[in-house]
Homo-oligomer: A and B are copies of this chain.
Amino acid sequence: MSNLIDFSLYLITDRTQLTAGYSLFSAVEAALQGGVKAVQLREKDLPAAELLPLARQLRDLTRSYAARLLINDRIDLALAVQADGVHLGGHSLPADVARRLVGPELLIGISTHSCAEISRAAAQGADFVTFGPVYATPSKAAFGAPQGLQALAKACHGSTLPVFALGGMTPERTTEVMRSGAAGIALISAILASPDPRSAASAFNQQEG
């Protein structure tokens, strides 16, 4: 595997947003059936001991769908389950430290909220970034007001890395987001909180195609 970003729909997990009747596993599987090609395991309230079995299950599952698995924050867990990469936020180890631990092959994604953070991620050896929140979204309320399409376009045009738009993504917004220069879309609730994650994922894929 090289540092190729071969996906445009990046699903971030949050089991607290699942619709009744779905487990994290079954919801992610439905999303993969709908065309998701990259999944980030991000259950911030769980300790490593509880993340490990989830990560192993998702590793097997994503592999069987030829999809990528990234692990949020815990580089050790990513290495332990042979994930395809790690995703790091502002409270994580910095990308340059992560790169020394994971080697050249694993993907490193970074959560960013400004052009300055994107530049830093690039300088530290990241492979891609998420940028947001683009639109208003409950998932990302902690990151403040939505930045809007113009800020997304500015971020994308100033970036040497692929930028995944995050926050308030819907199939209808996909066209304008991609026209702004995004390499893809990152999302949680639009798929995971859907009563039909497979169709939800599929709707995004159709818009992108």
- Does residue A91 face the partner (Cβ distance < 8 Å to B)? yes
Looking at A48, A75, A98, the one whose CB has the most chain B CB atoms below 10 A away is A48
Cβ–Cβ contact A73 & B48, under 8 A: yes
Cβ–Cβ contact B74 & A101, under 8 A: no
Q: Within the assembled complex, what's the spacing in Å between the Cα atoms of A33 and B48?
A: 34
Interface residues of A (CB under 8 A from B): 47-50, 52, 73-77, 79-80, 90-94, 97-98, 100-101
A-B contact pairs, 7 of them (CB 8 A): A47-B92, A48-B91, A49-B93, A52-B93, A76-B79, A76-B93, A79-B101
Q: Within the assembled complex, what's the spacing in Å between the Cα atoms of A145 and B49?
A: 24
Chain B residues with Cβ below 8 Å from A101 are 76, 79-80
Q: Within the assembled complex, what's the spacing in Å between the Cα atoms of A159 and B205?
A: 57
Main secondary structure of the interface of A (DSSP, over half): helix
Cβ–Cβ contact B76 & A75, under 8 A: yes
A51 nearest CB neighbor, chain B only: B93
Known: A49-B90, A49-B91. 20 other contacts (CB 8 A): A47-B92, A48-B73, A48-B91, A48-B92, A49-B92, A49-B94, A50-B91, A52-B93, A52-B94, A52-B97, A74-B76, A75-B76, A76-B76, A76-B79, A76-B93, A76-B98, A76-B101, A79-B101, A80-B93, A80-B101
Q: Within the assembled complex, what's the spacing in Å between the Cα atoms of A9 and B50?
A: 31
Chain B residues with Cβ below 8 Å from A47 are 91-92
A126 vs chain B, min Cβ distance (A): 15
Top-7 shortest CB links A-B = A47-B91, A75-B76, A76-B76, A48-B93, A80-B97, A49-B91, A48-B92
A124 vs chain B, min Cβ distance (A): 13
Partner of A80, one of B74, B80, B100: B100
